[in-house]
């Protein structure tokens, strides 16, 4: 794992956006895996800005989001389809038909997983997956004890996640407790992964992900097995890591190599 520790959450968003834009410039028909939630919002703002001012084009890009609530209409303001349209897709030149969100409103919700897996496969797999992390170590909606070999499927959310996300729902509003989520194995097939984490609330999950054992109680720890994952953290989210001096040393050495020989990624 590459551990990048930056001073501020704004720098985390900028670094993430740079990685996305570099890929899209190099490979205009890239397949991106996207996340929702608070963390990637600033990154999406920067993608919009880079599209508008630096001419970064998403016209040949395909996207697959990690997850969607079961039982919410795509027009519902808390659905992840609505979130993505409002916070990214409507502001860039991506083709709506190239954007994919797991279907959360199928008559048979159990069909959602295999159908989504097929679509990802047909698109040639995900080139770059953007992840946030739950305070309980989840990625996508793969809650603690999710199988590390899981594929896209229906997951029941934990009370912690339901409580964490209740801030987005009005008090009397129906808040879904089921979601369709890419599985851990689905995420692990992405060629490159960047996980963004900011703020103290994520510090424990980040430390367990990077320095704890690989175990289903912290689903993000599976990323230790991924050959090309970058954890992009602000100082608060990195505050419980024990080996920060080493991570900085590694990055310096890597920067020197990249300067001399180019970035192979
Ligand atoms: C959302 C997702 C979740 C979030 C996580 C963190 O698509 O995949 O795993 O990334 O719950 O959410 P925030 O960023 O709101 O703290």
Domain boundaries, the chain: 2-261
User: Is 143 in the active site?
Assistant: yes
Helix boundaries (H) for 76-179 = 80-87, 112-122, 159-165
* pLDDT value at residue 159: 93
Helix then strand count (H, E) for the chain reads 8, 10
| Dist. CA 198–CA 12, nearest whole Å | 8
- Tell me, using a 6 A CB cutoff, whether residue 43 lines ligand 1: no
* pLDDT value at residue 265: 82
> What are 129-143's pLDDT values in tens digits?
999 999 999 999 999
Of the listed ranges 11-20, 153-162, 218-227, the least confidently predicted one is 153-162
Residue of the CA atom closest to atom 4 of ligand 1: 132
DSSP 215: B
> What are 204-216's pLDDT values in tens digits?
999 999 999 999 9
What is the 259 CA–ligand 1 centroid distance (Å)?
34
Residues in contact with 240: Cβ distance below 8 Å, sequence separation at least 6, in sequence order: 203, 204, 206, 207
Average pLDDT, rounded, for the chain: 96
| Dist. CA 246–CA 131, nearest whole Å | 24
Residues in contact with 260: Cβ distance below 8 Å, sequence separation at least 6, in sequence order: none
| Residue 143: closest CA among 122, 124, 123, 157 | 157
Average pLDDT rounded to a whole number, residues 38-55: 97
| Residue 123: closest CA among 43, 57, 189 | 189
Check: CB of residue 205 under 8 Å from CB of residue 169: no
| Residue 221: closest CA among 200, 242, 201, 206 | 206
* pLDDT value at residue 109: 87
What dotted CATH number matches 2-261? 3.40.50.1360
Average pLDDT rounded to a whole number, residues 252-259: 90
> What are 180-233's pLDDT values in tens digits?
999 999 999 999 999 999 999 999 999 999 999 999 999 999 999 999 999 999
Work out the widest C-alpha separation in the chain, in whole angstroms.
Answer: 58
Q: What is this structure's pTM? A: 0.96
* pLDDT value at residue 14: 98
Query: What is the pLDDT confidence band of residue 165, given thresholds at 50, 70 and 90?
Result: confident
Query: What is the pLDDT confidence band of residue 107, given thresholds at 50, 70 and 90?
Result: confident
Check: CB of residue 79 under 8 Å from CB of residue 168: no
Burial code (b: 16+ CB inside 10 Å, e: under 16) for 133-156 equals bbbbbbbbbbbbebebebbbbbbe
- Tell me, using a 6 A CB cutoff, whether residue 139 lines ligand 1: yes
- Tell me, using a 6 A CB cutoff, whether residue 132 lines ligand 1: yes
Query: What is the pLDDT confidence band of residue 57, given thresholds at 50, 70 and 90?
Result: very high
Query: What is the pLDDT confidence band of residue 244, given thresholds at 50, 70 and 90?
Result: very high
Catalytic residue among 138, 142, 164, 234: 138
The ligand 1 atom at the shortest distance from the C-alpha of residue 140 is: 8
């Amino acid at each position: 794992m590459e551990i990048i520790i930056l001073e501020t959450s704004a720098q985390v968003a900028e670094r993430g956006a740079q990685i996305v834009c570099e890929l899209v410039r190099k490979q205009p028909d890239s397949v991106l895996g996207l996340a929702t939630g608070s963390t990637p919002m600033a990154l999406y703002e920067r993608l919009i800005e880079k599209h508008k001012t630096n001419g970064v084009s998403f016209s040949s890009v395909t996207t697959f989001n990690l997850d969607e609530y079961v039982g919410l209409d795509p027009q519902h303001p808390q659905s992840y389809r609505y979130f993505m349209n409002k916070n990214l897709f409507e502001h860039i030149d991506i083709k709506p038909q190239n954007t994919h969100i797991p279907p959360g409103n199928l008559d048979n919700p159990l069909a959602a997983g295999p159908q989504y897996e097929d679509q990802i496969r047909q698109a040639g797999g995900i080139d770059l997956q953007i992840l946030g992390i739950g305070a309980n170590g989840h990625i996508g909606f793969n809650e603690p004890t999710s199988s590390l070999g899981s594929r896209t499927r229906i997951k029941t959310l934990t009370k912690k996640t339901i409580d964490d996300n209740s801030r987005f729902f009005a008090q009397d509003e129906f808040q879904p407790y089921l979601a369709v989520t890419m599985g851990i194995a689905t995420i692990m097939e992405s060629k490159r992964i960047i996980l963004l984490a900011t703020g103290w609330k994520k510090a424990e999950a980040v430390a367990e992900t990077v320095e704890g054992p690989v175990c289903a109680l912290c689903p993000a720890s599976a990323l230790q097995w991924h050959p090309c994952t970058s954890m992009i953290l602000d100082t608060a989210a990195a505050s419980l890591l024990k080996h920060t001096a080493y991570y900085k040393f590694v990055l310096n050495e890597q920067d020197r190599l990249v300067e001399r020989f180019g970035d192979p990624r």
